Amino acid sequence: MKFNNPIHTGTFNCKTSKSKLAAWTLMEVLLVLAIVGILVLLALPNFTSIISKAKGKEAELQLNALHMMQKTHFYEKSKYGKTLESVGFQQEKLTTEGGKANYKIEIVEASNTGYTARATAVVDFDGDGQYNVWEIDEDKNLEEVTKD
C-alpha cells in the first residue's frame, strides 16, 4: 500500500510481525516479590524501635502541653488542677476509639504544691505485651516509666 502523502513517502506493511515482545514471566515477577517480602521481614525488627521512639514523641508533646496548662492554672489559682478539664486540656480521641491519639493522658495526683501526670499508650507498638508509659511533674521532669 503506497501513500501519496508528501510527508510520508515510505510503504506501510499491514502484516503483523511474528516476533515476541520482551516481557517478564509470571514466575520472575513472583520470585522478585518473594525476595522483596523476605527483605522487608528482615528489616522490620530494626525499625520497630524507631517507630516506638517516634510515637513516644507524641506523649512528650502532650505532657509538655499539659505542663504549660498546669503552670497557667497554678499562676491563676495558686494550686494545680486535679482534672484535665480544670486546666483546659482536651484529650484527643484515641486510636482505639477511631481517633488519632496513641496515648491516654491523665492527672495522677495534684495538690497545692505539685502534680504528676501520666501518658499511657493504648497501643502495644512492638507487640511485646508492654505498653509505653510517660510521666511529668510540676518541675517538668519528663520520664519514660515503662519502655515499649
* CA-wise closest residue to 91 among 69, 112, 116: 69
**Domain annotation covers residue 2:** no
Q: Look up residue 143 and give its three cell numbers.
A: 520520664
Q: Which domain holds residue 106?
A: 48-146
**Domain annotation covers residue 122:** yes
Q: Is the full-model pTM beyond 0.75?
A: no
- Beta-bridge mates of residue 121: 103
Average pLDDT, the chain: 86
d(CA 89, CA 65): 8
Encode pLDDT of 59-95 as tens digits. 999 999 999 999 999 999 999 999 999 999 999 999 9
Kindly report the length of the chain.
148
* CA-wise closest residue to 81 among 93, 89, 46: 89
- Reduced to 3 states (helix: H, G, I; strand: E, B; else coil), residue 88 is coil
Scored b (16 or more CB within 10 A) or e, 98-126 reads eeebbbbbebeebeeeebbbbbbbeeebe
Q: Domains in the chain: how many in total?
A: 1
Pick the residue with more confidence: 128 or 76?
Answer: 76
d(CA 67, CA 31): 54
**Domain annotation covers residue 110:** yes
**Domain annotation covers residue 71:** yes
